[in-house]
């Protein structure tokens, strides 16, 4: 179809003959004869563009660090979006729950993020607008002089600031994070939009391809990407890495595409207005803005060198004067340069900025109205914050397992996910094309998969796209919905593939640490843990993955010993509110027989005594064992070990990190489980990486008493591969005896 066949603008005059026609959801506005956008003073915004560029350049010059190239090329995009009326936002309440979200996938463009808001808040300050910069976390011009200093502004975007709703930096990750937030809002019946400031080079990142797929397949039409198409990465032209026509990378995935001159504010205003109104086709939109990298940045303009390199000082003076700022240019007087730039900000500019923000803030819906809309559309669901849900005193039958029964821990986890899905409207579940294997399928089926026909589902079909899955799933938990509801998610793949979660998880955990107010809780599934996935060979045997996540602050790796422990550790994690990686084996595992002294809830201490010393008079050793099959094999090996006159205490380990916490908060209890004297003669058994249990159990002279896997194994049945690893009952008995 041709867009000339139906009106695109309400209350705007546009001659569709001047719009280049093309089929599908595609419009090219470059060079179109567009009437000046209603109520926008283009010339005033163009002058403000010079001021913002001046603030960008003095910020980078003073710090001798930063990213001027992408910051400068996005200036008109920032102005058109933040003052044009398409962004719903109140600068006096920048974290209002009904605001549009703004994500800087190009997270390095902080000279623009901070320079832009320094201009706005300085203007509001001059108009007499009352606000507390400490309360709302805004940036004022004087703070630009402490850019990239430990007591000042950060080098990459952080979510505590206005116009910024996720902490970003690594290329492409912000786009996937934005998609997760957009999915949460869309599936909660909110009318909010999620705007993404993105660079062209970062779309080389593989996870952005994954995100483009999922966005269309899920029918998510509330995400709008403002794409800075300046043709350069850091090393050179992006065409050296992406040979296909650039618009194909979006239009070919089914996105609505609008192309504009990225330095033409009027075209940008029309594009953003069109994108906000949408095309009623359940598809997301990208505005491809053709720009000049490092625009106005002297000799580095239109070069990859402008990306992260300050220009030489003499050239800085020339370009600033060319912009119209008569700076003295003294190398140690950046404050004077800043003052000179701000002299260009006139009283009428300040009043205009205040009026434009009034237009945008008037569009904010009151929080009670937003909550009512969610309740109306999410019928018969419980509006309960997930992390406030407590363990029932009497567990439902589907969450209780009989001692001695062989039960898959994935089955137990799946039952818990399905149970939680019915307790709250804010739980999401998905997997990397492995929902039946990881245990998320039953939860996904409660409300169905999110798509155009089922927009309020809670299952997400991520496909084989682990990076994007992780980033989306974690980011959607790090946004606060109206009513102070914070979504929770579970996402899963095989343990051996969880390495692809790596940097996405790193970014999410940093965001949790930077902004505790929005810190999210999520469950990352790592199933088919250990060598038991034998038949597929070493490519699918998950034995070393936890080495990555054990090192990250802000997350715990949980390895429950049976089905009942799986239920208890999930309730414990939900109560603590700290993200977890949940490791589950493929094989069915016997449900342990328990005494009142050792209930399944003891797993939340990270370790507990499974079998105490017999006080037989023999040499005492402690075996710290982790992994359900390893516990079974160690218990079966005990008769062979005790025949040697050895008195054994078996400690089941579910999480070294949780036990480390116990040592800090309740050292007496921890000492009863594993004493300092126990550590002198301790043997550790793990169904994977030997070092997993190191942090709390080993002393400097006990390194050789670690039993685990330190080589790639062959294909075979589960029992064969466990034997190859030397973790079968007889091998364990021999190794333990030799170790002591």
pLDDT in tens, 343-390: 999 999 999 999 999 999 999 999 999 999 999 999 999 999 999 999
Strand partners, 619: 646
Residue 318, classified by CB atoms within 10 Å of its CB into exposed (0-12), middle (13-18) or buried (19+), is middle
Strands 646-653 and 619-626: parallel
Q: What is the pLDDT of residue 487?
A: 98
| Half-sphere CA count of 19, side-chain side, radius 13 A | 27
pLDDT for the residue 24:
38
pLDDT in tens, 148-191: 998 999 999 999 999 999 999 999 999 999 999 999 999 999 99
> Regarding beta strands 607-611 and 646-653, do their DSSP bridges make them parallel or antiparallel, or are they unpaired?
antiparallel
Mean per-residue pLDDT, 431-453: 97
Averaged pLDDT, 391-401: 97
Region 675-702: mean pLDDT is: 82
Confidence class of residue 15 from pLDDT cuts 50, 70 and 90?
low
Q: Please say if the pLDDT value at position 249 is more than 70.
A: yes
CA 43 to chain centroid, in Å, comes to 39
In this predicted structure, what is the pLDDT of residue 736? 87
| Residue 201 contacts residue 231 (beta carbons within 8 Å) | no
More confident residue, 172 or 9: 172
Q: Helix 173-186 crosses helix 502-514 at what angle (to 10 degrees)? A: 70
**Percent of the chain residues topping a pLDDT of 70:** 96
Asked whether 428 and 457 are in contact (CB, 8 A), the reply is: no
Task: Give the tens place of pLDDT for each residue, 105-118.
Answer: 999 999 999 999 99
pLDDT at 7: 37
Residue-wise pLDDT tens digits, 483-531 = 999 999 999 999 999 999 999 999 999 999 999 999 999 999 999 998 8
In this model, does residue 332 exceed pLDDT 90?
no
Q: What number of helices (H) and strands (E) belong to the chain?
A: 27, 19
Q: Is the pLDDT of residue 701 over 70?
A: no
CA distance 452 to 461: 13
Check if the beta carbon of residue 223 is closer than 8 Å to that of residue 179.
yes
Q: Is the pLDDT of residue 663 over 60?
A: yes
d(CA 62, CA 448): 54
Other C-beta atoms lying within 10 Å of the C-beta of residue 437: 18
Query: Which of 1-5, 52-56, 430-434, 714-718 is the least confident region?
Result: 1-5
Residue 16 has pLDDT above 90, yes or no: no
Tokens 């929080």 -> residue: 367
pLDDT of 702 strictly over 80: no
DSSP conformation class of 454: B
Does position 93 have pLDDT exceeding 50, yes or no?
yes
Per-residue 3-state assignment (H helix, E strand, C coil) for 295-351 = CCCHHHCCCHHHCCCCCCHHHHHHHHHHCCCCCCCCCCCHHHHHHHHHCCCCHHHHH
DSSP β-ladder status, 588-590 and 406-408: antiparallel
pLDDT reported for residue 100: 98
Q: What is the mean predicted confidence (pLDDT) over 692-703? A: 68
Q: If pLDDT is split at 50, 70 and 90, which confidence band does 685 have?
A: very high
Q: What is the DSSP string of 722-736?
A: HHHTT-SHHHHHHHH
pLDDT in tens, 418-435: 999 999 999 999 999 999
Q: What is the pLDDT of residue 703?
A: 55
Give the separation between CA 406 and CA 399, rounded to whole angstroms: 15
pLDDT number for residue 22: 38
Q: Which residues contact 158 (CB under 8 A, 6 or more apart)?
A: 164, 167, 514, 515
| Count of CB atoms situated within 10 Å of the CB of 232 | 24
Q: Which residues contact 445 (CB under 8 A, 6 or more apart)?
A: 418, 459
pLDDT at 248 over 60: yes
Q: Which comes out higher in pLDDT, residue 25 or 43?
A: 43
Strands 406-408 and 427-431: unpaired
In the chain the first and final C-alpha atoms are separated, in Å, by 78
Res 696 pLDDT > 80: no
- Asked whether residue 14 carries a pLDDT value surpassing 70, the answer given is no
pLDDT at 4: 33
pLDDT class of 721 with cuts at 50, 70, 90: confident
Sign of CA dihedral 212, 480, 527, 174: positive
Domains of the chain listed by start with CATH number: 3-361 (3.40.50.970), 386-590 (3.40.50.970), 606-739 (3.40.50.920)
Nearest Cα residue to 556 out of 512, 617, 600: 512
Whole-number percent of the chain with pLDDT over 90: 83
Residue 449 has pLDDT above 60, yes or no: yes
Residue 447 contacts residue 420 (beta carbons within 8 Å): no
Taking residues 241-269, report their average pLDDT. Answer: 95
Q: Is the pLDDT of residue 222 over 90?
A: yes
Distance, in Å, from the CA atom of 538 to the CA atom of 575, rounded to the nearest integer, reads: 36
Angle in degrees, 0-180, between the axes of helices 265-277 and 75-83, rounded to the nearest 10: 50
Q: Give the pLDDT score at 5.
A: 32
Buried b (16+ CB within 10 A) or exposed e, 678-696: beebbbbbbbbbbbbbbeb
Query: Quick one: pLDDT at residue 699?
Result: 58
């Amino acid at each position: 179809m041709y867009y000339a066949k139906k009106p695109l603008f309400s209350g705007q005059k546009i001659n569709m003959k001047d719009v280049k026609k093309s089929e599908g959801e595609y419009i090219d506005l470059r060079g179109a004869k567009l009437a000046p956008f209603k109520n926008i003073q283009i010339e005033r915004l163009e002058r403000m563009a010079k001021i913002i560029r001046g603030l960008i350049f003095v910020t980078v010059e003073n710090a001798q660090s930063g990213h001027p190239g992408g910051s400068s090329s996005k200036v008109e995009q920032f102005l058109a979006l933040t003052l044009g009326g398409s962004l719903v936002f109140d600068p006096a309440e920048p974290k209002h729950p009904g605001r549009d979200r703004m994500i800087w996938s190009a997270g390095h463009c902080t000279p623009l993020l901070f320079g832009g808001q320094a201009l706005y808040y300085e203007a509001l300050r001059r108009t007499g607008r009352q606000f507390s910069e400490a309360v709302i976390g805004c940036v004022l011009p004087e703070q630009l002089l402490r850019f990239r200093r430990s007591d000042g502004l950060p080098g990459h975007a952080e979510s505590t600031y206005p116009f910024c709703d996720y902490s970003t930096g690594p290329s492409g990750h912000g786009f996937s994070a934005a998609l997760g937030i957009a999915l949460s809002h869309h599936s909660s019946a909110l009318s909010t939009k999620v705007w993404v400031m993105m660079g062209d080079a970062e779309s080389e990142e593989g996870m952005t391809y994954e995100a483009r797929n999922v966005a269309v397949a899920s029918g998510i039409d509330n995400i709008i990407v403002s794409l800075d198409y300046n043709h350069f990465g850091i090393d050179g032209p992006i065409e050296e890495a992406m040979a296909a026509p650039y618009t194909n990378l979006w239009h070919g995935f089914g996105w609505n595409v609008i192309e504009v001159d990225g330095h033409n504010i009027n075209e940008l205003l029309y594009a953003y207005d069109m994108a906000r109104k949408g095309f009623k086709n359940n598809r997301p939109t990208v505005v491809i803005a053709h720009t000049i990298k490092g625009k106005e940045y002297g000799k580095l303009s239109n070069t990859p060198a402008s990306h992260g390199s300050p220009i030489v000082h003499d050239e800085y003076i020339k370009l600033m004067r060319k912009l119209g700022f008569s700076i003295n240019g003294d190398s140690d007087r950046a404050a004077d340069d800043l003052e000179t730039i701000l002299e260009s900000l006139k009283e009428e500019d300040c009043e205009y900025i205040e009026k434009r923000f009034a237009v945008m803030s008037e569009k904010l819906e009151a929080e009670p109205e937003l909550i009512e809309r969610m309740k109306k559309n999410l019928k018969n669901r419980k509006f309960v914050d997930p992390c406030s849900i407590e363990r029932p005193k009497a567990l439902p039958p589907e969450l209780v397992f009989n001692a001695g029964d062989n039960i898959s821990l994935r089955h137990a986890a799946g039952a818990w996910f399905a149970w939680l899905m019915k307790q709250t409207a804010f739980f999401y579940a998905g997997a990397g094309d492995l929902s039946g294997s990881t245990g998320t399928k039953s939860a996904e089926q409660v409300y169905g998969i999110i798509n155009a026909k089922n927009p309020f589902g809670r299952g997400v079909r991520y496909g084989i796209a682990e990076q994007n899955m992780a980033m989306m799933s974690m980011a959607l938990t790090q946004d606060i919905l109206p009513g102070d509801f914070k979504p929770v998610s579970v996402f899963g793949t095989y343990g051996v593939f969880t390495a692809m979660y790596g940097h996405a998880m790193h970014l999410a955990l940093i965001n949790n640490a930077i902004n505790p107010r929005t810190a999210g809780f999520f469950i990352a599934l790592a199933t088919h843990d250990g060598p038991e996935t034998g038949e597929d060979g070493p490519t699918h045997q998950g034995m070393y993955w936890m080495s990555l996540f054990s090192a990250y602050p802000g997350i715990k790796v949980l390895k429950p010993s049976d089905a009942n422990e799986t239920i208890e550790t999930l309730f414990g994690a939900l109560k603590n509110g700290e993200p977890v990686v949940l490791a589950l084996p493929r094989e069915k595992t016997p449900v342990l027989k328990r005494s009142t002294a050792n209930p399944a809830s003891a797993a939340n201490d990270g370790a507990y005594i499974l079998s105490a010393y017999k006080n037989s008079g023999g040499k005492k050793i402690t075996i710290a064992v982790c992994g359900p099959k390893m516990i079974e094999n160690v218990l079966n090996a005990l008769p062979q070990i005790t025949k040697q006159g050895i008195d054994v205490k078996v400690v089941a380990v579910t999480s070294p990190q949780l036990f480390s916490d116990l040592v800090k908060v309740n050292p007496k209890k921890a000492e009863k489980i594993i004493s300092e004297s126990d550590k002198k003669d301790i043997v550790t058994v793990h169904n994977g990486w030997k070092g997993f249990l190191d942090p709390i159990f080993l002393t400097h002279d006990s390194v050789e008493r670690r039993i685990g896997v330190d080589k790639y194994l062959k294909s075979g049945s589960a029992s064969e591969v466990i034997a190859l690893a030397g973790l079968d009952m007889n091998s364990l008995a021999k190794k333990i005896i030799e170790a002591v």
